Amino acid sequence: MFRKLMSILPLLLPASVIFEAGVNYYVKLIQTEEKRAKTYQLPDDATEYRATVNTYTEFGNYDHIIVGAGSSGAVIAARLCENSTKRILLIEAGGNETDLTDIPAMGTLAQTLEYNWNYQTTPQNRACLLNDNRRCVYPAGRGLGGSTIINSLIYSRGSAADYNVWGLENPGWSFGDLLPFFKTVENYKIPADSCYHGYDGPVNVDYPRPLLNAKSSAFVFANQELGIEVGDYNGANPLRVGVVQSNIIEGQRASTGRAYIQPSLKRCPNLEVLTRSYATKVLMNPTTKRASGVFFARDKKFFVAKATNEIVLSAGVYRSPQLLMLSGIGPSDQLTELGIPVLRDLPVGQFFKDHLAYSGLAFYTKRGSEPKKLEQNIRDYLNSKGQLTTTGALALAFVQNNRSEPVRRPDIEIALFEFSQDYGFPYKVNDPSKLVSVVPVVLHPKSLGSLTLNSSDPFIYPVIDPKFLSDTDGEDRKTMLLGISYSLNLLNTVAFKGIDAKLVPVHLPQCKNYAYFSSEYWNCHINHLSGPFNHPFGTCRMGPDGVVDHKLRVHGVENLMVADASVIPVSISGHTSAPSMMIGEKAAHIIRFG
């Protein structure tokens, strides 16, 4: 990437000349990509990969094949190639990371370009009602690093109680079992509960610089006034508030592609990475139920790669279940209806859950910042600080509404976001730099959705229906109302009064007939302004009655594993990026050592 080149060129040219060349390069890059994004059409299917010839060419034989180079797959490939006697093939539909995706603040822009699969849900009845056709949007990363090249870079593992529930039916998945794998991922660069963290892993965990501004500081101390402990929310106590812990390194995005794949390509001649290659099906023996290869499309041709040992699907919450069903593994009635021969009747896609977030709370403060020109922001970025080194996420608080529970397990997250003038929040205010968004999130949703095939055509996206706020007892809505109430209580704290924080009213025409702040008003707002926090999980759920067992092996199928967020069987009191990396480490350990 360009910054690596800048570290070499001073041997040939003065550093100041190289630095200014870098500034000019990034100005042109960002302006060009912003212009391109205005006309770029995000995909609504994968037909760009469709082959023009229907015959399959033998691609080669490997010990292991991994499908998907995202949060988990990149980790698995890097770990497996450490055994130099094994040939590893990693198949990824996207391309390489770029100088644009390296910039944390460009994650939102990258989501409007080819780095995003752009999944959408079916029309919803109780969420996303302001969106076109009432569909929720699901960004999903496409490229080496998967969603870690477009996400908010928040490193949040969840609570020990989450994993202890996970481990009840799945031996080896309780918190004590998994903490070593989290530590193996981590290279912590911040003050934290040291015995809970790793300090020499591939993935940097750091604070953006500068560490605090007036708004994030006020948020932290306001939550403290409301009884939340300040500290490491990935440590001993999950009920804490703190500045966002981010996957950044020297101000750049620390994706799994950067942390795991790039170093592996230098040290692992036995690792072959195929980009722009779209997996279509797993090669299965219908008699023995053994997986032996992967079909994929590349350069408008079809190929099949063979594997003597485990094939691992790490294609994510949407693609891994789709590949299973296309291969004859899934609900028999659905597969039969689409003419797909059933090899194993399993509940693939039948457990889809996600955290629900409400985006209607914006606070206007007296603390803003002088807008900087793009050139100055780039100068800051090249010095590993400033606006471009952040994604807008400032701080997180984790709240347990039911304090009578015997274990510490947050049920509400309160996230603080800030938006620059260049990428403004959709509220009309005089100075966007004085605005913050406070987002309450339901961490343990009761509503259960599904993912099903739309077609037997592998290039057609699956049908995603999260069924937000559909739980029969209305617990998700009650929890969201509690999160909104908690967020509004921040306005009554000394800390928030110190920055003169005021709620920015949001007047929706759809809710105009309800009294301001009435229960009907908030329920209407929740329906229109709630949507996914983009932490889906469970479509290949782990468990005795699920899709994979505690060794990540597909039930009743030999040689086939799933390892990504789709296997998570319980809701996590945090985000899914960190657990997905942990799953990658655990999967590689299982393959190598049993």
Distance CA 570, CA 105 (A): 31
Which pLDDT score, from 0 to 100, does residue 368 have? Answer: 80
Query: What's the first-to-final CA gap in the chain, in angstroms?
Result: 38
The string of DSSP codes covering 15-31 is: HHHHHHHHHHHHHHHHH
- Grouping H, G, I as helix, E, B as strand and the rest as coil, residue 588 is helix
Q: What's the alpha-carbon Rg for the chain, to the nearest Å?
A: 23
Tell me the pairing of strands 356-358 and 203-205. unpaired
Tell which residue, 571, 523, 534, 536, has the closest CA to residue 125. 523
Backbone torsions φ then ψ of 405, nearest 5 degrees: -65, 140
Distance CA 433, CA 392 (A): 11
Domain segments of the chain: what residues? 56-593
Distance CA 235, CA 460 (A): 42
Is the sign of the CA dihedral 388, 391, 392, 393 positive or negative? negative
Q: Supply the pTM of this predicted model.
A: 0.96
CATH architecture assignment, domain 56-593? 3-Layer(bba) Sandwich (3.50)
Q: CA 208, 358, 445, 228: dihedral to nearest 10 degrees?
A: 50
Which pLDDT score, from 0 to 100, does residue 423 have? Answer: 39
Query: Residues of the chain whose pLDDT is less than 50?
Result: 421-425
Please report, for residues 63, 241, 306, the alpha-carbon distance to residue 559 in angstroms, rounded to integers and kept in the order given: 11, 43, 12
Which pLDDT score, from 0 to 100, does residue 291 have? Answer: 98
For 95-152, write each residue's pLDDT tens digit.
999 999 999 999 999 999 999 999 999 999 999 999 989 999 999 999 999 999 999 9
Which pLDDT score, from 0 to 100, does residue 11 have? Answer: 54
Say if CB 539 and CB 566 are below 8 A apart: yes
b/e map of 384-409 (b: 16 or more CB within 10 Å)? bbbbbbbbbbbbbbbbbeeeeeeebb
The residues assigned a catalytic role are 535, 575
